[in-house]
Every structure is written in structure tokens, then in C-alpha cells.
């Protein structure tokens, strides 16, 4: 936000007010003892304590990672799954700014905010998993570019995409601070940031899958194919949109006072429209999965425990929610759409974990299970993200309409 300040610094007396304004904004708003706070605060404190132990005694002190399974829940869920869920931001900016589907405009900001925070926190979770995080600058400042590494690409794209998302979101910050000139400059950068952001997303959503390409002998053949990158990319479309539907329906309850009557009504239409896109993307995904399966010739494997698990994923968590999306779109049943989005999200979690954790070294003598501590840290990360999300929503014009002066400077 510091560069935002510098825009306003020109006006001296405004400056003083700005600080007072910021100070007052940092105070909590609303009730303190809500059920969410009562659950989340202890977990966040416990998570923090565990993180201290992790940096003091090493990663092995709180995780179950082994020499054979070096990536566990923190990578498989926090990073790989979390980023898929954050895909809603690039899909939605594509729809609104590139395809000019203006009906969806009212949920762009909240989705971008969600995506941005997801990247900040999940990339943050990545730092927890690094054994030598102080060297994380090496691939960035350029003294050691491992350019043949997929992870190098993914890391850079995370970084650049966060910047792109921050630019996309920045008009809301400017409106919050009342910085009119900055608002104008920043919103003129939106399209460029959107185009850059979509390109980056295409590459790193698939890149997360490409990370596992070299682990050919280690991942169960039903989940390994040279097409993992494409499958990851296509599934990130409906993973992200399901998250948008899910998050939207919660936000509309929790923050209903922020949302104008008009946007409340529009939201039903939006969810309805999104369900059609989800159904379409899932159909494409399912079709690809079938092609990959036929191409891989793994028929005999279906009749094994892992095979049943694979069928469960495909039928229960791809075909089922796909039909449900389609059906509820036709019937215009919003509740069913929400149900479908939840099933889809569970399916995405299962799919990403199947590649990264469950199917990884599936034939090894001992399996990896996360410790309760890994789970607590993961929950702490998620809760912290929600806290920040709530803080921003309560202050900036994200769900609520922009202040009236915005129209005049357009």
C-alpha cells in the first residue's frame, strides 16, 4: 500500500488524516465472540506455535514426511489444491474483461481478492515447507536461475501473478483511501494486468501438474500421464468457479449488509450462469480423462483397490456433479447448484491429492499420512486468510458499491 500513499502524499493535510484514518481502520469491527472467532483463534495460535517448533527443530519434528515422500499435505493440499481453487480469478477476469460479459462484473472484485489472498497464503505455506527458506531469493535475484526446472517457472509465475492480481484489485484500495488520481491511473492498468494474469495462470495452473512429470515411476499409472498439465489446467476452470459459487453464497449471507439490492438479485443469475460454464468445462475434462485413460490402456488396473478409487473419483466426483450442474441449470435450482459446487470441490481435493500424495509411491511399504500438526498448520493458514479477507471486505468497496465519486472521474 506504500506506493498508494505516495500518490496521496502530494496533498499535505490529507496525509495526516490518512494516517488517522488507517489507524482507525486497523481496529477490529463487529462482534468479537462469534462462533468463527472462537474456533479459529485457538487454532491459529496453536498453528503459530507449531510453526515456531518447525523452524527450531526442523520439518521432521511436526510432519510425517519421509525420504521417499518428500512432499506431503502442505504441498499437495495447500499449494497444489489451493491454487486450483484460486483459479476462479483468472476465469472470471477472462469472462468480464476479455469476453465483456458484464453481468458478472459485480463479483469480479471479490473473486480477485480471494485469488490474491489465496496465492499470498498458499505461497506462504510453501515457505513453511522449504528447508532453507532464506535461499528462496536465489531463483529470484538471478544468481542461480534453474531455468530447466518446472518449479522455477511456477515460482516466478506465482510471484508475477500476485503482482498482476494486486493491480487488478488496486482500484478498490484506492477507493478505500479516497485516492482519486491513483484510482484513475490504477484502473487504466487493469486490462494489461488481466491479460498478463490470464497468460500466467494458464501456464502455472498446468505447470503445477507438470511438476510431477518427472516422477513417472512414482505416481500410480491411473493418475500419471503426459497430459497431467492439460488436465490440471482444464480442471482449474471449474475448480475455481465452484469456489466462486461456494464462497459467493457464504459471503452473501455473512456480509449481506454490504450488498446492494440490485447485486443481491443479480447474484442468483450469476450463479445460474456459472453452473452452465462449470458443466461445460467438466464435460471437456471428463472427455479428456477418458481419452487419457484409453490412451494409457490401463483396463486391468480398474479391478484393483486403486482402480475402484479411480472410478469413485471419475464417477462420483466428475460425472455426478457435472450432471447435477447441468440438471440444476435447466431447472434453475440454485440450491442444487451449490450442492454440485461443493461436490466438485471435494472432487478437486481428491484429484490433486491422488496425484501428489495418495497415488505418490502408492506401492511403497509404508505410506505417508499427515500428522495432526500438519493439518492444524494448514487450518491455521486458511483461517488467517479468512480473517484478512473479512478485514478487507469490511473496509474496502469489494462487495459494496464503489463510492459515488468514482463515477465522476470515469
- Nearer Cβ to another protein (199/394): 199
- Nearer Cβ to another protein (266/284): 266
Nearest residue to 96 via CA among 112, 75, 72: 112
- Nearer Cβ to another protein (172/198): 198
d(CA 96, CA 110): 13
Instruction: For residue 107, give the DSSP letter.
Output: G
Instruction: For residue 219, give the DSSP letter.
Output: B
Cell numbers 490504477 correspond to 186
Helix (H, G, I), strand (E, B) or coil at 226: coil
Our finding on whether 97 is near another protein (CB under 8 A) is yes
User: Restricting to residues 114-133, which ones interact with another protein according to CB under 8 A?
Assistant: 129-133
Torsion of CA 368, 289, 83, 226, to 10 degrees: 80
In whole angstroms, the minimum distance from the beta carbon of 97 to another protein comes to: 7
Our finding on whether 403 is near another protein (CB under 8 A) is no
Our finding on whether 346 is near another protein (CB under 8 A) is no
Our finding on whether 35 is near another protein (CB under 8 A) is no
Determine how many CB atoms are found less than 10 A away from the CB of residue 285.
Answer: 22
In whole angstroms, the minimum distance from the beta carbon of 42 to another protein comes to: 26
Our finding on whether 191 is near another protein (CB under 8 A) is yes
d(CA 10, CA 5): 9
Our finding on whether 264 is near another protein (CB under 8 A) is no
Nearest residue to 208 via CA among 367, 383, 353, 358: 353
DSSP secondary structure letters along 12-59: HHHHHHHHHHHHHHHS--S-S--HHHHHHHHHHHHHHHHHHHHHHH-G
- Nearer Cβ to another protein (51/339): 51
- Nearer Cβ to another protein (152/391): 152
Our finding on whether 175 is near another protein (CB under 8 A) is no
- By CB under 8 A, name the one of 28, 42, 58, 403 that touches another protein: 58
d(CA 282, CA 327): 13
- Which parts of this chain interact with another protein (CB under 8 A)? 55-61, 63, 65, 67-68, 70-71, 94, 97-103, 129-133, 135-136, 138-139, 142-153, 155-156, 160, 191, 195-196, 198-199, 202-203, 206-207, 210-218, 226, 229, 266, 269, 407
Amino acid at each position: 500500500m506504500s506506493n498508494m500513499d505516495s500518490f496521496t502524499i502530494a496533498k499535505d493535510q490529507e496525509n495526516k488524516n490518512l494516517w488517522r484514518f488507517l489507524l482507525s481502520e486497523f481496529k477490529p469491527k463487529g462482534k468479537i465472540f462469534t462462533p468463527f472467532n472462537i474456533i479459529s483463534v485457538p487454532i491459529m495460535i496453536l498453528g503459530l506455535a507449531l510453526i515456531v517448533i518447525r523452524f527450531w527443530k526442523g520439518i521432521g519434528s511436526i510432519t510425517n514426511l519421509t525420504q521417499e515422500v518428500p512432499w506431503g499435505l502442505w504441498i499437495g493440499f495447500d499449494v497444489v489444491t489451493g491454487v486450483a481453487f484460486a483459479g476462479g480469478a483468472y476465469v472470471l477476469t477472462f469472462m468480464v474483461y476479455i469476453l465483456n460479459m458484464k453481468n458478472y462484473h459485480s463479483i469480479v472484485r471479490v473473486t480477485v481478492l480471494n485469488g490474491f489472498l489465496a496465492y499470498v497464503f498458499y505461497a506462504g505455506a510453501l515457505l513453511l515447507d522449504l528447508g532453507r527458506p532464506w535461499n528462496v531469493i536465489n531463483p529470484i535475484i538471478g544468481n542461480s536461475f534453474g531455468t530447466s526446472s518446472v518449479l522455477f517457472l511456477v515460482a516466478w509465475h506465482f510471484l508475477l501473478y500476485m503482482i498482476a492480481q494486486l493491480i487488478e484489485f488496486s482500484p478498490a484500495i484506492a477507493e478505500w483511501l479516497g485516492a482519486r488520481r491513483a484510482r484513475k491511473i490504477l484502473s487504466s492498468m487493469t486490462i494489461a494486468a488481466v491479460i498478463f494474469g490470464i497468460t500466467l495462470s494458464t501456464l502455472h495452473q498446468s505447470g503445477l501438474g507438470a511438476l510431477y512429470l518427472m516422477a513417472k515411476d512414482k505416481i500410480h499409472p491411473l493418475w500419471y500421464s503426459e497430459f497431467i498439465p492439460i488436465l490440471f489446467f482444464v480442471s482449474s476452470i471449474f475448480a475455481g468457479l465452484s469456489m466462486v459459487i461456494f464462497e459467493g453464497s457464504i459471503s452473501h449471507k455473512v456480509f449481506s449488509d454490504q450488498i446492494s439490492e440490485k447485486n443481491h438479485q443479480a447474484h442468483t443469475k450469476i450463479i445460474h450462469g456459472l453452473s452452465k460454464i462449470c458443466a461445460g468445462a467438466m464435460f471437456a475434462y471428463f472427455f479428456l480423462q477418458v481419452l487419457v485413460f484409453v490412451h494409457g490402456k490401463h483396463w486391468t488396473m480398474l479391478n484393483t483397490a486403486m482402480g475402484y478409487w479411480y472410478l469413485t473419483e471419475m464417477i462420483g466426483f466428475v460425472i455426478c456433479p457435472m450432471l447435477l450442474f447441468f440438471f440444476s441449470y435447466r431447472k434453475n435450482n440454485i440450491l442444487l447448484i451449490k450442492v454440485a459446487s461443493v461436490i466438485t470441490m471435494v472432487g478437486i481435493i481428491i484429484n490433486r491429492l491422488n496425484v501428489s500424495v495418495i497415488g505418490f509411491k502408492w506401492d511403497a511399504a509404508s505410506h505417508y499420512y499427515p500428522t495432526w500438526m500438519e493439518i492444524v498448520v494448514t487450518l491455521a493458514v486458511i483461517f488467517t486468510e479468512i480473517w484478512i479477507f473479512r478485514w478487507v471486505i469490511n473496509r474496502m468497496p469489494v462487495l459494496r458499491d464503489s463510492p459515488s465519486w468514482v463515477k465522476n472521474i470515469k
